[in-house]
């Protein structure tokens, strides 16, 4: 009986403590809980694949780099940025699942603004690199766009390429 009384007393104290909290604290706690819940259960819309908390999509249509970027923007994203080897591998598996081969595709890297200063079209930091040996080489001074799954070596690494070439692409967006 004493345990039941103690448990009831603790519950009453907790309820009064929460009820006595200032309204601002309640709102902030509710918003934080809601944001945490959204982070945990977010999904990607149809046709997009969740990889490392972002949504990726393989676009099989062969386009020039700039047209591939415009296509991604029309879908609410950008050409993909890649930030780890694990993420790169998962994107490769997504491409293989759709095309059944290591298809060379456009992703969002470009050094068109300044040679050898690579930027992602979505503004993320260019902190991971997976260049093939001897790349980027800016062949003929005109290779400014980034291709992944380059057939140059068995590694299926990155290569700078001519932006006018037509290739499939991979888009990324943060969610939904």
Determine the pLDDT at residue 150: 84
Tell me: the pLDDT tens digits for 127-137?
999 999 999 99
Name the band, by pLDDT with cuts 50, 70 and 90, for residue 176: low
CB atoms within 10 A of CB 34: 10
Mean pLDDT over residues 7-25, rounded? 47
pTM of the model: 0.75
- The DSSP line for the chain is -HHHHHHHHHHHHHHHHHHTS-HHHHHHHHHHHHHHHHHHH--PPTT-EEETTEEEEEEEEEE-HHHHHHHHHHTT-EEPP--SHHHHHHHHHHHHHHHSS---EEEEEE-SSSTT--EETT--------BPTT----GGG---EEEES-TTSTT--BEEE-TTS-EEEEEEES--
Determine the pLDDT at residue 26: 46
* 176 touches 57 (CB < 8 A): no
- On the question of pLDDT at 61 being above 70, the answer is yes
Q: Which fold does the domain 49-173 belong to in CATH? A: Mannose-Binding Protein A; Chain A (3.10.100)
- For residues 26 and 48, give the distance between their C-alpha atoms in angstroms, rounded to a whole number: 36
Domain with CATH 3.10.100.10 in the chain: 49-173
Tell me: the pLDDT tens digits for 81-130?
999 999 999 999 999 999 999 999 999 999 999 999 999 999 999 999 99
- On the question of pLDDT at 25 being above 50, the answer is no
């Amino acid at each position: 009986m004493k345990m039941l009384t103690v448990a009831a007393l603790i519950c009453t104290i907790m309820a009064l403590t929460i009820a006595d909290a200032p309204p601002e604290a309640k709102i902030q706690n509710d918003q934080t809980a809601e944001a945490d819940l959204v982070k945990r259960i977010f999904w990607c819309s149809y046709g997009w694949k969740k990889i490392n908390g972002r949504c990726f999509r393989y676009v099989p249509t062969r386009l020039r780099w700039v047209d591939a970027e415009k296509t991604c923007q029309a879908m609410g994203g950008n050409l993909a940025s890649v930030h780890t080897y694990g993420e790169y591998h998962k994107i490769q598996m997504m491409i293989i699942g759709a095309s059944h081969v290591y298809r060379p595709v456009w992703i969002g890297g470009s050094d068109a603004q300044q040679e050898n200063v690579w930027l992602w079209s979505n503004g993320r930091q260019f902190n991971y690199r997976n260049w093939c040996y001897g790349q980027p080489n800016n062949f003929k001074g005109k290779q400014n766009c980034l291709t992944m799954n380059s057939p140059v070596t068995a590694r299926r690494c990155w290569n700078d390429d001519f932006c006018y070439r037509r290739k499939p692409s991979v888009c990324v967006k943060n969610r939904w």
